[in-house]
Structure 1
Amino acid sequence: MPAGIAKVAVLSPHPVVVEGFSAMLSRHHDRVEVIDLPTSFDDLEPDVVLYDVAALADGDGVDLDELVKATASVVLAVARDLRPDLLGRALSRGVDGFIPLGAGEEELMAGIDSAMTGWQAGDPGPDPVVGSSTSEQRSHRLGADVGLSVREARVLSLIAQGRSNDEIAAEEFLSVNTVKSYIRTAYRKIGVHTRSQAVVWAVQHGVETDAER
């Protein structure tokens, strides 16, 4: 797990689920800070979001789509044994992994630690994110001075041009999870926390936005 405290948000239509997970996480304040999910993704994004799949039972999943497509947060579905169909829907929408609703404290923290490893597609060993089953290969030269890889620089350039995570994945022939992995590592290297900050950084370092073209 990288240095620093993981910022974790819990999203569920059931307050008891939010309270239960938050209580377990709060006992590990040296490793985790429980935060509210921001109302705008110009605000600080959580490192990890625990997303209760029950939210998909009556909703259209727009909130999950936004988390997957427009943030660099690792999204872990909270799976319910009696509704495997909802987990299937969450996985099909691109969540990074999943943990069971009945997960104990040790399993929960293992999931958070797994999500925070910083592993990227192409690194040695399997993807450590709990429940993850997707990964792609990783392979011009923005940010070389701060250690950006070719792919990280390309992804930042596309973000500055207004592309969504899905659009970047399609254009670069990557999975959405892989795109998000590049975004997270790029954010750390350039010292930003939000998509809008990344756009400002990229423009300041010579990337043209769509508006400038």
Structure 2
Amino acid sequence: MPDARTPVRVAINDDYELVVAGVAALLTPYADRIEVVELDSDEPTVSDVDIVLYDTFGQDQGEDIDIESLTVAGSPKVVIYSWNLQPELVDGALSSGAAGYLWKGMPTADMVDALEQVHAGQTVTPPAAARPDPAVGAWPGKEFGLSGREAEVVALITQGLTNQEIADKVYLSINSVKTYIRTAYRKIDVRRRSQAVAWGLNHGFAPDHSRMLDPQHRHPAR
């Protein structure tokens, strides 16, 4: 395990600022062990960190994750953080170069342990009994009562994906996608896809483009 006096340096990556900030907030009480030095939305990591923690909300899954595109500095390990725990997604992510696969719903203390284990050279994956917890973290639309899954579907609708494309991207059945769409539409008070897209664009569901660096650390020039 890493020395307790030397925190694991982590960058958090996702296309949504709110999602990235939500994951960072989970780790804040453990700053003596996990040092979050960069937050990236639709940007590759530029800091020389130990781990890039990639949140899959509204993003590519499994073997479709482009591990190499997530960083332009150093050789950090990439760890996936996801609600989607299907074995084929876990195996696909690992075969694409991910060093670990963490599940939303694991206690934050366990998440910190897992990041330290990955940093020490171990591979951490979800146990058979792991279950995702849609209450973990933050996501666009949470304040409107959208569950994490409903929000992810709305995000993908806002990106212009069809129902089948959404099902393929997040590895849900087409009927499950339709169910999430129906329940989400009721909560945001829309009836048609065009209305959902307009609502999403006005409520933070368009992917962000930003980078936040810890000013206390030096970063390589771009």
Q: TM-score range by the shorter chain?
A: 0.3 to 0.5
Higher helix share: 1
Which structure has more relative contact order (CA 8 Å, sep 6+)? It is: 2
Q: TM-score, normalised by structure 1?
A: 0.46
Q: TM-score, normalised by structure 2?
A: 0.45
